[in-house]
Amino acid sequence: MKNLAFLVPGFILLLSSCGPGYDYEKQYEFQDEKWAQSDTLEFTFAVKDTLTIYNLYLEIEHTTGYGYQNLYTQVYTRFPSGKRIGELLSLELADKAGVWLGNCNSESCVLKIPIQEGAYFNQAGEYAVTVKQYMRMDPVEGIRSIGFMLEDTGQKRGG
């Protein structure tokens, strides 16, 4: 029984230190580290509470041999009403000196990029975020995976 009293607080501490939890998280991995323009990535999630404030992230894993400082993407959002909007985003993977951003080892880097912070959704229902690569080459080489995360900030907007 004495051991159990020690394990319970340790287990609670372990659970609370696991990092942020996401309301939605999905990742696509690319065969041969090549992202073709025809590879459309769709992330579909439901929003129930229109007062919750969220952060939206893209997580990119690329090889250290990736040949560019950034990755151009076209990002579309489809609302429950069916309305769709799009935006061209340049995802910066390296600084101006060419040093990779994010968590890197000798073979690859993983970088979580905020694409919208403090966001809220005016309509409850199903949303879809679609991401396409928008580089001048097809396929773009050196991209291992793209993920999307929707994080509840724990904050509410005035309603």
The pLDDT tens digits for 81-108 are: 999 999 999 999 999 999 999 999 999 9
Contact 134, 35 (CB under 8 A): no
Domain layout of the chain by residue ranges: 21-156
Q: Where on the phi/psi map is residue 3: left (φ > 0), alpha (ψ -120 to 50), or beta?
A: alpha
Residue-level pLDDT at 21? 76
Contact 52, 151 (CB under 8 A): no
Low-confidence ranges of the chain (pLDDT < 50): 1-19
Provide the residue type at 95 as one letter. Answer: D
Topology of the domain comprising 21-156: Jelly Rolls (2.60.120)
Residue-level pLDDT at 7? 39
Residue 110 CB partners (closer than 8 Å, separation 6+): 59, 60, 61, 102, 103, 104
The residues with which 75 forms a beta bridge, in sequence order, are 87, 131
